[in-house]
Amino acid sequence: MTAEETNSSGFPLLGDQFPELQVETTHGSKTLPEEYEGQWFILFSHPGDFTPVCTTEFISFEQRRQEFEELNAKLIGLSIDRVHSHIKWTEWINDEIGEDIAFPIIADEGGDVAEALGMVHPGQGSSTVRAVFIVDPDGITRLVLYYPKEIGRNIDEVLRSLKALQTHEEEGVALPADWPDNKNFGSKALLSPPGTVDEVKARTAEANEEGYESYDWWFTLKELEG
């Protein structure tokens, strides 16, 4: 990693270039983020193989993998375990639960990758917490989530966040709370507030012309197509 690729905290924050990392996985050696150039990827860590909450998460991620891939996104897991442990664990999941884990898992035996990405929190012990990084096709970190070890992740939220980020990119809009199922505004998107007096006047005229749902010049919603 270089100073240009990260901030002073030592791990990527929102808007930072994801650091270049050489990793060993259950699918062989990979270089991140180069491996997924032109695609989104979701890198998520788990505290350890053969642990119950992590097992439920991996099953859930695999069951939703096709939905991620339909959005041009790949999944990749990580923990501070050896590759042989990852392989044995995924074999157990396949044999006992009937789910074949088809995405790669990083074997971070020395913990270097986890340290570089801020996945080890001293208050949570020496293993990785449940971190999630969503990285865009240009290798930019777009979302970071941290969960404690005792709480399994909500895969719906990870998938929703990916869809919201892609919608922002495609439409230039912001998305309300609970989008696309907001109790008050449904699946509508929010337009960015104007920044000048002239832009305020233009927004008011635009809202009237386009039939946007406008509560005020700074709070305007529009229907998204599709």
Of 33, 7, 30, the C-alpha closest to 19 is 33
Q: Give the residue carrying structure tokens 């157990």.
A: 92
* Rounded-to-integer distance, Cα 224 and Cα 221, Å: 10
C-alpha dihedral sign at 86, 88, 91, 96: negative
Pairing of strands 40-45, 130-135: antiparallel
SS3 54: helix
Contacts of 7 (CB under 8 A, 6+ apart): 13, 16
Give the phi and the psi of residue 52 in degrees, each rounded to 5: -65, -45
Question: What is the side-by-side strand order in the sheet with 213-216?
Answer: 189-190, 219-222, 213-216
Which residues on neighbouring strands pair with residue 73, listed in sequence order? 40
Residues annotated as part of the active site: 54
Show the tokens assigned to 44.
Answer: 């998520």
Q: Which residues have CB under 8 Å from 65's CB, separation 6+? A: 75, 102, 103
